[in-house]
Structure 1
Amino acid sequence: MKTCKEIAKEWKMSERSIANLCKQGRIAGAAKVGKSWQIPDDVVRPVDLRRRETTVENNGKSYRKKPLPIGISDYVRAQAEYYYVDKTMLIKEFIDRKPLVSLFTRPRRFGKTLNMDMLRVFFEISEEDTSIYFRDKEIWQAGEDYTKYQGKYPVIFLTFKDVKFDSWDATMDKIRGLLQDEFGRHSQLLTSEKLEEYERDYFRAVLQGTAGSVELTAALENLSRMLHKHYGIAPIIIIDEYDIPIQEGYAKDFYEDIVGFMRNFFSGAFKDNRNLSYGFLTGILRIAQESIFSGLNNLTVNSVMDTEYDRFFGFTESEVDKMLSYYDVAEKKTELQEWYDGYLFGDTEIYNPWSVINYIAKGCRPQAYWANTGKNEILADVLREATDDITERLFALLQGETVLACINQNVVYRSLTEEPANVYSLLMVAGYLKAVKKELQPDGAFMCQISIPNKEIAAVYKGEVLSHLLQVGLITQSTANKIAESLYVNDMAKLQTAIMEYMKKTISFYDAGAEGFYHGLLLGLMALLDNQYKIRSNREAGEGRYDIGLIPKEKKYPGIIMELKWARDLSERELQSLSEKALVQIDSKHYADEMRNEGTKELMKLGIAFSGKKVIVTAG
């Protein structure tokens, strides 16, 4: 009979994975004797655990390729069974810098959890030889100055990526369960002669789930001390997606509870902890203002604005080129760039890794894969708190324009209500915006030219904007359907009615403003239609600039030109006259010439006049 350790070495897997397979009954003849599994000497490795391959179709030919690691955050499994983009040089950069506590802030689904699990496997003391998972990786080629750290530290690892609950009690139960599991990974401490009995009592309380929330605030501090005493070397603490419970607390009204807990939880782990070798945290936001890391002057923050570690989260262009070549779809690079490129981390161009691997795995079909990984709570929060000026700028961003904004890296969730301009900072760190240009300011903030990164994020905005308009009553589903149907069947009368319904509701909701305000709101509605149209705003044509132009992508749709007018305190008759004047301007200044010259045969001209909360649309 063989042990899990022996089988793990033969199959190049972790002992934990082998033990889990035994529990699941997937290893024939495995039997538990005491606390250990015994496995027959002649056991045959299950077929579905061998190095996996998948069939890729291209130009009528089939290729056997490794599958892409969709949703795989287990490093050992990812590098053994799937196409793995080697990020192990993150280890070298860390060892070269040796910060005591590192916080990496990146958007969701950019490889944070996989990288943190890679660090765990590399540094963690283990009975098995875990160096086998790195010997063919770049870090092993860096030499003994780096490989000597492999397998030398006890490691505490927690990921909060799934702590998403509607109440504080449920959140606390989940955190209690995560701590139970992590304490269970270190069950050797229960019999350690180097610990005091009160320490083993505490350990048992956490392990059995009887420790209260106050006791659990000291869990990281106590576990790190016990591991230090047992091994004679201070542990590494890794906390993945630390701010997800905080984001949930903000959205679900238990913000103060979760912030209070996390403040004490992290303080014990990282502030003046003599039982800590190194600490790693990942998240979307740097929440310094919440005093979660109060007094932690040894925290090194690495954000999307910093050049350090800029190539280790997400895929670089060379990594994408290599992947496309491997799957024989190099000709798809332009499409892939348009949809999933456009991020700038530090000075490095980055592709969204989640979307890239889904795009290739699903036959190179472009769609918003990132949007389907979870709710876009941050964007929804922004839309709820947006002022008129911010709303207009968000609509401008949807048109591919750049906007000037101050990006504050210390932004927090509740600052949305305190300072609405922080929406741009939240959207930047969450992956919804990129900095085309940036300039560091004396106060540590960045003055940036910002834009939407790519087609995928533009699609996310459209979905969330439409959802927001439906939710707050600015547009009904009936109106949205009318717009879509009218464009599909070229029903101009229905389109006019739908626009008037939308504008009247919108103007009633917001305070009416100048022409630019109306322009922004109408432009936002039109932005939702660009599956059928290329949308232009304030574009030179004929003898002037038209306000909004919708250029059809297919000949079956009409071209649409809108001219907007605004004046205060107009009567219905005066407002009608003003809309007619706008319509005349379209003809007199030949705004339609450009579209006709480009081959658009059918044109719809709309003169739209506003006065306060009144609107009239005249078609020609």
Structure 2
Amino acid sequence: MARTVGIGHQDFETIRKKGYFYVDKTNFIKEWWESGDRVSLITRPRRFGKTLNMSMTEQFFSVAYADRGDLFEGLSIWKNEEYRQQQGSYPVISLSFANIKEESYATARRKICQILSNLYSGYNFLLEHPILDKKEQKFFEDVSADMDDVTATLAIYQLSSYLTRYYGKKVIIILDEYDTPMQEAYVNGYWDELAAFIRSLFNSSFKENPYLERAIMTGITRISKESIFSDLNNLEVVTATSEKYADAFGFTEAEVFAALDEFGLADRAQEVKLWYDGFTFGGLTDIYNPWSIINYLSKKKVGLYWANTSSNRLVGKLLREGNREVKKAFEGLLAGKHLITPMDEQIVYDQLNTNELAIWSLLLASGYLKVIHYEKYEELGDDFREVNYELDLTNHEVRRMFGSMIKGWFTETSADYHDFIKALLLDDRKAMNVYMNRVCSEMFSYFDTGTKPSKEEPERFYHGFVLGLMVELADRYVITSNRESGFGRYDVLLEPRNKADDAMILEFKVQEAEEEAALSDTVKAALEQIDRKEYASNLIAKGTPRERIRKYGFAFCGKNVLIG
């Protein structure tokens, strides 16, 4: 009989006691311990079992779970007598920053302080023990939501000292989702303040801490060393391309197919593979996102499970407001092409607005992109240029998620945008002009990065508009942009999948006031450019009759547009 699927449980003890569906990942404990690394930072996308694995690790080592070997009976770690002796033998400090999603530095800092205060509350018995002198008792009591920076940044260090002296063993520190507050700080504009606070906290907790036995931090991203890890030179970073712990987070294909068999769904293996396969960690391919698989086992149908577990606000903001190169690259990804780009896997948040390479790093770390191939440093020899990565959208679920996100960009003007699409298909130029002017009026600033319209708005809008076309008309047209044809590069080309439909060429031009007195002159120049550079040549070479090729010139002046 198939086990019960309990959705949303991240506490190891609850899952084991209730007998809920669980894939054995306890070999991670052995692999991590035998690595000998003093401080490990493990990055994986959201909903990949990081929190459950940290709960599992805490409950294996923590003295609070001494004599709770029953939780691990029947699992791989319990087959090893040496590790049975380790269970419940260390003081463990475990905390999570997963819920720190605040709009200001003051509230984010206060929430971190409250988490530290709650941590101390669990050890109030130390106040009655002679290991603490009066000054230490005073420090202990000063730990609160309102404590000063010195007390806050030393809180974990001091607690490590107290627990080491009380139990006679150094501590293990587990920090889950360390980067959640950092992402919110970037989005809400208080990055510098929070980075300085976190840097001091991490330095005292993980570097200048003689009471530390081992530590693990988990998160989605590897934030740059200069940002918050500048003093932490004992850090082992494990990213998506690292070989360590490759099968510890996420389900392997063998684990997924075994689960499908258990639930009587073995005949749907290829459907599940299409939708949810595609993640790669180290050299291990065919990794599946656990959240989607668990939901599939429960609901027995495909859906956007993982893609809808958060607002994707940061990713959406970066793509929508990105420059034309970012949008052009993303057009290629949506069209099924791979992206080849130099990249550094550490995220420099300060550069996300200006450096497109940082955006691809974030998308890879977040699980939206997967690595097809990358150049290893040993393969480069004496060539110290940036490492090139070949990237693709991870799977069908991610592709569908981005389609929904792009549609959402036009939500405020969805009626006008869809009416424009209908008018375009009908070749109703009068209606196209009415609806497109309404869309432009609303959407120009939305695609820009600043609070005031910029000169780049037509470019930003144009590429966002193309992505919208690709989502709305992908079933009916092959849509390409900025490709060579004839003697130049056209802006947008719609090649019909059905020969009964017309092909279309769209050329966008911003009015040059010195040369074009009116927008109609700009439209004329755009149409002349289509003919002069023979943008239709590729279509004609494929057998499309000239009379079945429509040509449109889009002329922009500020937020006004004229289509002819």
Work out the CA distance in 2 between the residues paired with 1:395 and 1:238. 40
Work out the CA distance in 1 between the residues paired with 2:104 and 2:427. 49
How far the C-alpha of 1:159 sits from its partner, in A, is 0.6
1:118 counterpart residue number: 56
Task: Select the residue among 400, 405, 409 that pairs with 1:464.
Answer: 405
1:607 counterpart residue number: 551
Distance 1:590-1:292 versus aligned 2 partners, 3 A rule: closer
Distance 1:445-1:87 versus aligned 2 partners, 3 A rule: farther
Distance 1:509-1:452 versus aligned 2 partners, 3 A rule: farther
Task: Select the residue among 447, 466, 486 that pairs with 2:388.
Answer: 447
> Which stretch of structure 1 is more off in the superposition, 609-618 or 419-428?
609-618
Distance 1:127-1:347 versus aligned 2 partners, 3 A rule: closer
- Check if 1:294 corresponds to 2:294: no
Give me the TM-score of the superposition, normalised by structure 2.
Answer: 0.83
Give me the TM-score of the superposition, normalised by structure 1.
Answer: 0.76
- Check if 1:92 corresponds to 2:33: no
1:548 counterpart residue number: 493
1:139 counterpart residue number: 77
Q: How does 1:306-385 map to 2 (within 5 A)?
A: 306-349=242-285, 350-366=287-303, 368-383=304-319, 385=321
Measured on the aligned residues, the alpha-carbon RMSD in Å equals 3.7
Extract unaligned runs of 5+ from structure 2.
378-382, 448-452
> Which stretch of structure 1 is more off in the superposition, 384-393 or 262-271?
384-393
Work out the CA distance in 2 between the residues paired with 1:154 and 1:172. 26
Work out the CA distance in 2 between the residues paired with 1:444 and 1:156. 41
AA at the equivalent of 2:348:
V
- Check if 1:528 corresponds to 2:471: yes
Q: How does 1:201-220 map to 2 (within 5 A)?
A: 201-206=138-143, 209=145, 211-220=147-156
Extract unaligned runs of 5+ from structure 1.
1-63, 596-602
- Check if 1:196 corresponds to 2:133: yes
Distance 1:209-1:422 versus aligned 2 partners, 3 A rule: closer
Query: What do residues 191-249 of structure 1 show as CA deviations (whole Å, max 9, x unaligned)?
Result: 2222223223322332x656334311111000000000000000100000111111111
2:11 counterpart residue number: 74
Task: Select the residue among 179, 185, 197 that pairs with 2:116.
Answer: 179
AA at the equivalent of 1:192:
H
Q: Answer yes or no: is the 8 Å Cα contact 1:158–1:239 preserved in 2.
A: yes
Distance 1:539-1:274 versus aligned 2 partners, 3 A rule: closer
Work out the CA distance in 1 between the residues paired with 2:110 and 2:158. 19
Query: What do residues 148-187 of structure 1 show as CA deviations (whole Å, max 9, x unaligned)?
Result: 3211100000011111111222222322222232222233
Query: What do residues 34-55 of structure 1 show as CA deviations (whole Å, max 9, x unaligned)?
Result: xxxxxxxxxxxxxxxxxxxxxx
Task: Select the residue among 493, 496, 501 that pairs with 2:428.
Answer: 493
Q: Answer yes or no: is the 8 Å Cα contact 1:565–1:610 preserved in 2.
A: yes
Query: What do residues 324-361 of structure 1 show as CA deviations (whole Å, max 9, x unaligned)?
Result: 11111122222222222212111112212212222332
Q: Answer yes or no: is the 8 Å Cα contact 1:101–1:300 preserved in 2.
A: yes
> Which stretch of structure 1 is more off in the superposition, 436-445 or 226-235?
436-445
AA at the equivalent of 1:103:
L
- Give the structure, 1 or 2, with the largest relative contact order (CA under 8 Å, sep 6 or more): 2
**Structure 1 residue ranges, 4+ long, deviating more than 6 angstroms after superposition:** 503-509, 543-546
Q: Answer yes or no: is the 8 Å Cα contact 2:48–2:290 preserved in 1.
A: yes
Distance 1:279-1:577 versus aligned 2 partners, 3 A rule: closer
Task: Select the residue among 408, 416, 436 that pairs with 2:344.
Answer: 408
Distance 1:478-1:157 versus aligned 2 partners, 3 A rule: same
Aligned residues: 533
2:380 counterpart residue number: none
How far the C-alpha of 1:587 sits from its partner, in A, is 10
Distance 1:117-1:566 versus aligned 2 partners, 3 A rule: closer
AA at the equivalent of 2:392:
S
Work out the CA distance in 2 between the residues paired with 1:466 and 1:355. 22
AA at the equivalent of 2:469:
M
Distance 1:589-1:152 versus aligned 2 partners, 3 A rule: closer
1:561 counterpart residue number: 503
How far the C-alpha of 1:80 sits from its partner, in A, is 3.4
Query: What do residues 471-504 of structure 1 show as CA deviations (whole Å, max 9, x unaligned)?
Result: 8xxxx333323146669xx755388455686689
Q: Answer yes or no: is the 8 Å Cα contact 2:527–2:552 preserved in 1.
A: yes
Identity rate of aligned residues, in percent?
A: 30
Distance 1:86-1:483 versus aligned 2 partners, 3 A rule: farther
Q: Answer yes or no: is the 8 Å Cα contact 2:66–2:88 preserved in 1.
A: no
Work out the CA distance in 1 between the residues paired with 2:538 and 2:96. 64
Distance 1:419-1:577 versus aligned 2 partners, 3 A rule: closer
SS of equivalent residue, structure 1 residue 301: strand
SS of equivalent residue, structure 2 residue 216: strand
Q: Answer yes or no: is the 8 Å Cα contact 2:308–2:401 preserved in 1.
A: no
How far the C-alpha of 1:127 sits from its partner, in A, is 5.9
AA at the equivalent of 1:215:
T
Q: Answer yes or no: is the 8 Å Cα contact 2:554–2:562 preserved in 1.
A: yes
AA at the equivalent of 2:207:
K
AA at the equivalent of 1:561:
A
Q: How does 1:6-25 map to 2 (within 5 A)?
A: none
Distance 1:606-1:615 versus aligned 2 partners, 3 A rule: farther
Work out the CA distance in 1 between the residues paired with 2:538 and 2:234. 67
Q: Answer yes or no: is the 8 Å Cα contact 1:123–1:150 preserved in 2.
A: yes
AA at the equivalent of 1:203:
F
Distance 1:609-1:530 versus aligned 2 partners, 3 A rule: closer
